[in-house]
A = this chain, B = another copy of it.
Amino acid sequence: MDGQDVTGLMQQIGARARAAAAELAFAEPEAKRQALLAAADAVLVRQEEILAANAEDLAFGTAKGLSPAMMDRLKLDAGRIGGVVEGLRAVAAQKDPVGEVIAEWDRPSGLHIRRVRTPLGVVGVIYESRPNVTADAGALCLKSGNAVILRGGSESFHTSTAIHACLQDGLRSAGLPEDAIQLVPTRDRAAVAEMLRMVEFIDVIVPRGGKGLVGLVQAEARVPVFAHLEGICHVYADGDADLEKARRVVLNAKTRRTGICGAAECLLIDRAFLAKHGPVLIEDLLKAGVEVRAEGELAQVPGTVPAQPDDFGREFLDMIIAATVVDGVDGAIAHIRRYGSSHTESILTENDATAGRFFQRLDSAILMRNASTQFADGGEFGMGAEIGIATGKMHARGPVGAEQLTSFKYLVEGDGTIRP
């Protein structure tokens, strides 16, 4: 498909999405719920078809020489298909955000004002190899009354197409427009460039994938973007930390899963903590098999590796952590301001004033106390599902669920009320 064709195709997809969005904005909550439940049923019924499509993608991936990690992300099995079905049902069970009265008040003029939740319009989702994003993102956008244009990775093309067919089954059975959830039907990369510029048809772009993809989208998009480029999450062990809580949290924050954006990448140890407890946190990490890239006094702990300057502010996504000593909470705040990515940071302390200072003076999307950074997740926050995590300050921040895919409007009622 040449460039000209892709432009025309994407314009058509955009116009259809815009038309579907106008209808979806006032779709009955029950219709959206039924569409999601029917889509879940369709995934179960068409399971063999989806697995066959996935086998085709896997063969393509093998031929292309994809890394084992990418092949694993791409691969579906009965268990993962069960996860897709559960995800669709969980979003179906969520409260419908559209029409919710966020605030209401009366004015001396006699006006009654309500602020009511509305969909954003059309969401564009650009993702890489994980085919389950097709279902998750499609479901969240439908729940929030938005039309969505999905652009999956070329590696998962057949699997995404098969899952998308199930979502369309769901829409049809509930009498909702099929254009509510569209999948870009070409692997041509020019489609991505088109989406980033379609300001008249797309209200927000959500990129899901590695730093390469997100960086490209953030640099090139004329459409607003909800995203985080990196999750450089810090854990700070304060002098007033409880030792056992600190040991537990540090280990979990680094090692539970190293490949997610909420994994800790840097440990900051208060000089007072070190004086009291010694390098026990470092030793725990080493014992767990973590490579500790340490600076200053910590570099003298046997088994550590000397940190290079660029190990701070670096997202390892691996069994590696940077570590340094800081002078109290203000030292930690200064370090995080310099090296953080505004994603998630955690303070370990029993001191309320110190925790308050950390909470007040840092402005990451998520700040934690005595808790593992691995909780940075829409599901763990109780949002049911997330379309991504945003670190920008405009509109959406932190885990982006159905509610944050909405805007609002004001409904104002008078009784022949005029302004003096």
Contact = CB atoms under 8 A, between A and B. Distances in A.
Interface stretch (A85-93, A103-111, A167-175): A103-111
B410 A248 contact: no
Given A368-B414, A370-B414, A407 B419 contact: no
A65 interface: no
B380 A407 contact: no
Contacts of A409: 363-367, 397-398
Interface residues of A, number: 63
B372 A418 contact: yes
Copies in the assembly, this chain: 2
A372 B242 CA distance: 61
A359 interface: yes
A397 to B, nearest CB: 6
B248 A418 contact: yes
A361 to B, nearest CB: 6
Contacts of A308: none
Contact of A413 (B248, B368, B393): B368
Interface in A362-420: 363-372, 374-375, 380-382, 393-395, 397-398, 407-419
A416 B248 contact: yes
Interface string A1-38: 00000000000000000000010011000000000000
Chain B CB within 10 A, most for which of A359, A381, A407, A410: A410
Contacts of A411: 359, 367-369
Contact of A371 (B111, B361, B368): B111
A118 interface: yes
Contacts of A26: 360-361
A310 interface: no
Nearest to A342: B409
Interface in A319-354: 337
13 contacts: A109-B375, A113-B382, A249-B418, A366-B409, A367-B409, A369-B411, A369-B413, A371-B414, A371-B417, A374-B419, A375-B412, A380-B419, A393-B407
